[in-house]
Amino acid sequence: MDSFVKISNLSKTFPTDDGNGLEALDDINLTLAENEFVCMIGPSGAGKSTLIRILADVLQPTSGSVTFAGNQDPTRAIVFQSSNLLPWMDVLHNIALPLKIQGESETAANRRAEEWIERVGLSEFKDEWPKTLSGGMKQRVAIARALIQQPQLLLLDEPFGALDALTRDQMAIELLKTWDLQHPTVLMITHSITEAALLADRVVVFSKRPGHITHELKIPFERPRRAALRDEYSFIQIVKELRGMIMD
């Protein structure tokens, strides 16, 4: 697999009032292959969201670099823990918005939004306002709004963090299904080891702040992956191995 994103010797220090600075990331080296799904796990405050924001190009590193294959500037979409939907737009228009911003016609954008609404199982709710949706439904809208852009790089910052355990499990399966349709390169933060093992091709483990990568594990299961994988012995062994790395 070709390398798609290369993060080299990347560090980030935020300025502080006392002048010492707050070191959030310390010498991160990570390469994502094209179409690879990588999950990041690590303690709170380890700098994971900071890394996602640097990759989204909304924050600059203090030192080090992020380079993309062929020096391109890939299309990126980001999904946060809270869905960040526009409260004054219904589901359909929230999902269609990025296409309209990109200059697609109203009709074409709405037609593609309808397709995505069907894929994420929200056809009955396309005219609803975000405030009437459950947390899981809002996150499905946020994911559809990200995937409709067909981003080359999809950045997911604890997208299911605010959901109850059952909905969260269902969402992970739905994400697997939608990812199978498109295969963008993904970097996803999660605090769930099972979720990481189910979704990712590779899991990277962060230390506490200043964050650096302490472990990496390739997840060997073939795709497409199904929910039942979680009950298999080999899966439980991988989860155990990951737990050991996090406890280190």
Ligand X SMILES: Nc1ncnc2c1ncn2[C@@H]1O[C@H](COP(=O)(O)OP(=O)(O)OP(=O)(O)O)[C@@H](O)[C@H]1O
- Chain CA centroid to CA 102, Å: 22
Binding ligand X by CB under 6 A: which of 44, 71, 107, 234? 44
Cα dihedral 161/163/167/168 (nearest 10): 10
Contact of residue 209 among ligand X, Mg ion, none (CB under 5-8 Å per partner type): ligand X
Position 74 contacts ligand X (CB under 6 A): no
What is the footprint of ligand X within residues 173-232 (CB under 6 A)?
209
Binding ligand X by CB under 6 A: which of 37, 47, 186, 212? 47
Smallest gap from Cβ 14 to ligand X, in A, equals 3
Q: Interface residues with Mg ion (CB under 5 A)?
A: 49
Q: Both tokens of residue 200?
A: 């990712």
Binding ligand X by CB under 6 A: which of 13, 27, 45, 104? 45
Amino acid sitting at position 223: R
Evaluate whether 142 touches 83 at the Cβ level (below 8 Å): yes
CA 161, CA 89: separation in Å to the nearest integer? 24
Pairing of strands 213-218, 202-206: antiparallel
- Of 39 and 91, nearer to Mg ion (C-beta) is 39
- Of 93 and 209, nearer to ligand X (C-beta) is 209
Binding ligand X by CB under 6 A: which of 24, 163, 199, 204? 24
- Of 68 and 80, nearer to ligand X (C-beta) is 80
What is the 3-state composition of the chain as percent helix, strand, coil, each rounded to the nearest 5?
Answer: 40, 25, 35
Read off φ and ψ for residue 7, nearest 5 degrees: -105, 120
- Of 58 and 101, nearer to ligand X (C-beta) is 58
Interacting residue ranges for ligand X, rule: CB under 6 A: 14, 22, 24, 44-50, 209
